[in-house]
Amino acid sequence: MPLTSKGKKIMEAMTRTYQGDSKKAEQIFWGMVEKRKLTGVEEVDNKYGSNRPDSQKRDGKRSKKGK
């Protein structure tokens, strides 16, 4: 996925932190994005509003069925 300038800066800093191990830095970076600890690091798709599927756009709230 394309990164914004903020995402590129964070990725470079993480690579330096993990002493050039870009694979480890990338795993941790995308893990933080998935857990929503990092926001604004992915380019937005103009057609859909985001590159992420709907299942990953949820805010963590579940709807209560049957009530």
11 part of a folded domain: yes
Chain-centroid distance of CA 6 in Å reads 12
- Which of 4-18, 30-44, 49-63 comes out lowest in average pLDDT? 49-63
**Nearest 5°: phi and psi at 35?**
-85, 0
Q: Is the pLDDT reported for residue 44 higher than 70?
A: yes
Q: What is the pTM of this model?
A: 0.63
**pLDDT single digits (tens) 22-43:** 899 999 999 999 998 988 888 8
Domains in the chain, number: 1
Residue 9: pLDDT above 70?
yes
- Domain of residue 4: give its range: 1-37
Residue with token string 């857990």 = 35
Of 40, 37, 34, 28, whose CA–CA distance to 57 is shortest? 34
